[in-house]
Each structure stands twice: as C-alpha cells, then as structure tokens.
Amino acid sequence: QAFLSVTSILNVAVFRDHFVLEDLVEEMKKQSPALSFGPLRPDGQIAVQGPFPALRVLREFLLSKAKSLSEEDRREGKSHQRLRTKLQEHRGATETRNSVRDAHEEKQVVVLDTDIYHYMRHLLPKIFQANDVVISGVTDGDITTVCIENAERKAGAAQGLKTKKKIEFYSVELQKILRKERICFKEHSIGEKQRYKQLCEGLKPRYPGVVIFPYDTHIDVVGASADVFAFTEQVK
C-alpha cells in the first residue's frame, strides 16, 4: 500500500463576487502547504493534489468561507442601521479576539496520516520535542490531529509556528517515499502472533528505517519501498 496523493478539482467561481480569486488561491496555499495547486482556470476551477486529510481541511476552510459570505448576504437584506450595528459588534468582537490572540496565541493544528504520524514518532521523535510548546496527537482512524499549544506566551508562539512548519515539511517528504505492507496472520492463535512479532523484532536491527505496528489480526510494516519489500520477504 503506497501513500498516494488524491487529486480534486475545486470550483471557486462561487467566490468571484466577494474575492479576487487569485488572492483566494494564495490564501488556500498558505492554509494548506501540504497540497499542490494547479493553475487557476478562467471558469474558476483549479486542480488540487495532496493527502486526503489535507484536502479535507481545505474543504472545511472553503465551507467556512462560504458560510460566512451567506450570513453576510442575509445581513445586507436588513435595514442599514441594523447592519451598521451588527458590523460594529462584529468589529468589536474581532478586535477582542485579536487581543486575546496577541496575548495567548491560538494553538497550531496539523492533520496527518496516522501511519506517517506514528512513523515520525518512532524514528523522528525530536520533531515533536520543542521548548515552550506542548505537543499532543489525537488519532481517529486513518487521520491523526496534532495539536501544538504554547507553554509560554511570547516564546511559545514563535516556537509553536516553527514546530508546525517542521512537522508539515517532514510529513510531506515522508509521504513521497514511504510505503506500507500488511502481513496478515494465517491463524489467530496467541502463539502465532507471538512468533510473528518475535521474528519482526529480530529483523528490525537489519532494517533501521522500518517501523512495525502489530495488531490482533496483522502486522503493518512502514518504511521506504525497498526496505519494506525486503523486510516482508524475509518474514515470509
């Protein structure tokens, strides 16, 4: 099983009346650095390629944009005085949020493929170790959400962003080279599972770039393509 990219065609023409589409695309690129963007077509369509979790985050970002525009359109149908009041309230709330953000800084969030996350945790643990930040991961099936929270206000803010960029960089690079192979148990006895696990553990020193993840019915082997192939052939 290779860590393949997903390609999606997005139609951002719906935002044409509210945004300069080229500026919106640039904002999307900053929002989703793990994705590759094709040229923006005259009809508002753009091809986006990358890991599914990153596409999912981009989709939520665009849906949030569309929802905010819809709410603004509804407000514009009300009286001018009511609209002005709403805008003042919104501006005041925004200033308050910005003040809080400046004081505390929001936590950074990175969405990763679960296998890549665990691979990084095992072989590149220093990526998740940084001063002034607290890093945690919440796994939901194939997706793991990594939260980077500031332990200190000023130092933590800069370090949190730096750590996020580092995690994103390594996850994208690993996605290009990693492969996963699954070794299924022919039987499900405790003895067979133990034999497989012992055999894999015995082979690991010969393949330091391979990480194994044992489960009740199988063992997943993650690493570079050549290493994974050689490792699983040895096990078989």
How confident is the model at residue 211, as a pLDDT?
92
Percent of the chain's residues with pLDDT above 90: 12
Domain ranges of the chain: 5-68, 108-177, 179-235
How confident is the model at residue 70, as a pLDDT?
63
Contact 56, 37 (CB under 8 A): no
Let me know the angle formed at the C-alpha of 51 by 211 and 220, rounded to the nearest 5 degrees.
25
How confident is the model at residue 36, as a pLDDT?
84
What is the rounded distance in angstroms from the CA atom of residue 121 to the CA atom of residue 141? 17
How confident is the model at residue 14, as a pLDDT?
83
Q: CATH code for 5-68?
A: 3.30.1370
Structure tokens at 136: 């945690």
How confident is the model at residue 222, as a pLDDT?
92
What is the rounded distance in angstroms from the CA atom of residue 28 to the CA atom of residue 165? 16
Q: State how far Cα 13 lies from the chain centre.
A: 26
What is the rounded distance in angstroms from the CA atom of residue 42 to the CA atom of residue 11? 11
Distances (CA, A) of 154 to 101, 103, 131, 151: 11, 8, 12, 9
How confident is the model at residue 152, as a pLDDT?
65
How confident is the model at residue 98, as a pLDDT?
44
Q: Which residue has the higher pLDDT, 123 or 69?
A: 123
User: Quick check: pTM over 0.75?
Assistant: no
pLDDT of 143-186, one tens digit each?
A: 788 888 877 655 556 778 888 888 888 888 888 888 889 888 87
Contact 125, 218 (CB under 8 A): no
- 178 forms beta bridges with 224
